[in-house]
Structure 1
Amino acid sequence: MGDCRPFGFLIGLPFAFIALLLSLVGAVIWLLGSVLSCLCPCCICCAGLANIAMDLVKLPITILRWFIDQIPC
């Protein structure tokens, strides 16, 4: 089956759900940071905040991949 590890996927689902909630918060922060950095380009901190928010948006996929990689077979 290749890289299919259903046990790791099932173990990671609750954590991915929590990360999904955090990613929604990250999406809102990203939108606000993007708008602020467009309105005032001198606000470098808003661009950094938007980059951190993008990491929050990618968090559920990262968590699921980590759990799947931890299960050997």
Structure 2
Amino acid sequence: MAASLKNYEKKYKALEDVVRQLNDDDLTISEMLTQYKKGLTLVKECADMLNSVETEIQQIIEEVRISE
């Protein structure tokens, strides 16, 4: 879990960097499009990771309920 947390934090930081770059007025349209695509990919990857953790938490909760 610690490794996946570090991976999530790394991806989230990369997403923050993309947002900062998109707010930069010096980018060309082509560079903006490239960064936008990269940002969407990172958003999906972060969401998938969060969904996976949520599923794992739900499984743990169910296991605890069953054993009570």
TM-score band (shorter)? Answer: 0.5 to 0.7
> Which of 35, 38, 44 lines up with 1:55 in the alignment?
44
Unaligned stretches of 5+ in structure 2?
none
1:29 positional shift: 0.9
Alignment of 1:10-21 (within 5 A): 14=1, 17-21=2-6
- TM-score normalized with structure 1 length: 0.53
More helix by share: 2
List 4+ stretches of structure 1 deviating above 3 A: none
Question: TM-score scaled to structure 2, two decimals?
Answer: 0.56
Identity of matched residues, %: 2
Residue 19 of structure 2 is aligned to residue 30 of structure 1: no
- Listed one character per residue, the Cα deviations across residues 15-68 of structure 1 (whole Å, up to 9, x for unaligned) are xx3322111111111111111122226120101111122223324322231683
CA contact (8 A) 1:23 1:59 kept: no
Q: Which amino acid aligns with 1:33?
A: V
Q: 1:49 to 1:22 in 2, by over 3 A?
A: same
* Higher RCO (CA < 8 A, seq sep 6+): 1
